[in-house]
Every structure is written in C-alpha cells, then in structure tokens.
Structure 1
Amino acid sequence: MSQLFNTSYSWLFKYGYRIIPKRSLVKDAIQELFLVIWNKRDTINEARSVRSYLITSLRRIIFRRLEKQRNRSERNYDYRESFLEDEKNIEQSIISHECSNSQKEQLKIAIEALSKRQRQAIHLKYYRGLSNNEIAEVMSINKQSVYNHVSKAIIKMQNVVEQ
C-alpha cells in the first residue's frame, strides 16, 4: 500500500492540480483516496487498471469536496443574509416602536392643549369615526361649526407638535 502511495502520489497530485489548482485541497483528496482504499482493502475488487481506478476515484473525491464547499458557502451566505435581515427587522421594529410611542406622547400633549369643544370634535371625528353631520347632531351645533372646531384643533395640534 505504501509503495502504491509513493509511486502514484506525484502524478496524482499533478492530475488533481490540473482539475483544481489548490494544493491543500488536492493533497487532502489524495490522502482521503488512500484512506478509503485502506479502509476498504478487504472488499475492493482487483482493478484492471490501477492508474485508471486512482484517477477516477481522485476526480470523484475532488468534485465531491468542491460541491461540499460550494454548498457550505451557499448556506453560509444564506444564513448571513437571513441573520442580517432578521437584525434589520428587529432594529426596524424597535425604531418603529420608539417612534410610535413618541408620536403617541406628542399626540396626547397636543390633544390636551385643545379646548373642551375642540377635543370633543376631534374625538368624535377621528376616534369614533363619525361624519361631520353626525358630530353636529351630537354636539348640538351646525355643520360649519364642526368644520371650524376640527380645523382649528388640527392647526393648534400641529403648532404644539412643532414646538
């Protein structure tokens, strides 16, 4: 076995290096080839051409290793992308939550700055979803007064938020 290794290593290396010019990969593939031969020495049939058997086996091992590397690289890339995407989603969620809380606080302050009638008109319009006619009925005022209360309330709220 060692004699086969010593006499074939050089030309196997040259052959493997032509397939893929990576010294360490070719060396490892040759080592794996002879390890497989050693482990299966009792079950391997006698080959018609030892050289042909070694070349074919080495080529299979090299291509298998390249395929594993490619698959590993793809998995690593996919993992890295999904991790970055998850990280972006978490970060975006935190930012969105903080913005939402900040906006809610600003809205609360702005609503507190309104008069009682303006606050009631805004509440009925935006929180209860009533139309201007319905608001006019509930507040016992005319439709134009509803427009006035809502528009003045919005302007006042904008001013409070901008400060």
Structure 2
Amino acid sequence: MHSKEPIKNWNLLLEGDKQGLYECFDFFYDDLYRFGFSLYRDHDLIRDSIQNLFIELWEMRDKLQNVKNIKQYVFTIYKRIIYKTNKNLDNQSIGFEDILEEINNNFLIEQSYETILIESQVDEMKRKQLKDALDTLSPRQLQIIQLKFFDRKTYEEIVAITNLTERTIYNTLHNALKVLRENPFFVFKKQ
C-alpha cells in the first residue's frame, strides 16, 4: 500500500465509511501487533487492544481530527488503550502462577526487535503461501474449505448453506484436500 492510501482510508473513516475503517485496520494491524508485542508478550492482550482501538476510532469518528501524521495519532491512542487494557487485566485477581508467567514473558524471554520483525515477516510469508495454496482451489472447493475449517460448520449446516448433498460435500472436500496436499505449503503426516 502506498502512502496516499492511509490518508484516503483515514478520510473515509472520518466520513463514517466502514470500508475506510477496514482498510485502516488492515494497513496498521501488523505494525500495531509488533509494537504491542514489544511492550507485552501477551497475544490476547495485543489482539484485544487492537480491536478496542478500532472500535474506539469508529465510535469517536465524528470527533477525530484530520491529522497530518495518522500513524503517530493512531499509535498514541493505541498506547493508551493497550496500557488501560493491561491495567484492567492486572486489577483482576492474580495468582502466583500468573505473576511467574508475567515475569517469564516480560523479563526472561526478552526478544529483540529484530527477532519480532523476523517472526512477523515469517508469519506474513506463511499467510501469502496459504493464500496462494487456497487460490489453486475451485470456488466451490474454497467455499467448502471455508465453511468446514474456518467457519467450523457441520456437514448438515454446510448442506443447508450450499444446497448440495452431503455426498457432494464429502467429495468436494476430499478433492480440495487432495489438491492442497500437493502444495508444498501443506505438510500432512501419513498415519
């Protein structure tokens, strides 16, 4: 994404366009995640804080300023939210095991920014490989894979959604998995 797009999407967000919100979320997510992970080694806290950030941005879109440095503005709000979210979690009852885990997460397993950056690049590469692998499927195969594995639908629910027979769904899923097994991204152990 080039530098003009965040400004365009930010302006769409300010105008109340949900697509602008989604585009800003996509644009900032990886940087926010890396930044949050450099502060707290808690994946759930980071994901919740990013969600809370964009909920707050959406709710206060009428009051948002038309700022020049959007990234700095978003990160300033994010720092406040992640701190507040962490503080709220800290105010809940904390056991001895939680304290030890926090110490381990924040002090004993310190990772450099370079390590975090490499891990995020590996994650990005895996997402691209997964997308490329899924792009080899037919639209129907992709739909069945989406419903079965990502949406966790039962076969009966898939029948109701697609109006296909259960046998057709089994066959389509079998063929889709066969295609995916041939892709180097997927490693299936033979049992």
TM-score, normalised via structure 1 length? 0.43
Higher helix proportion, which one?
1
Q: Flag the structure with larger Rg.
A: 1
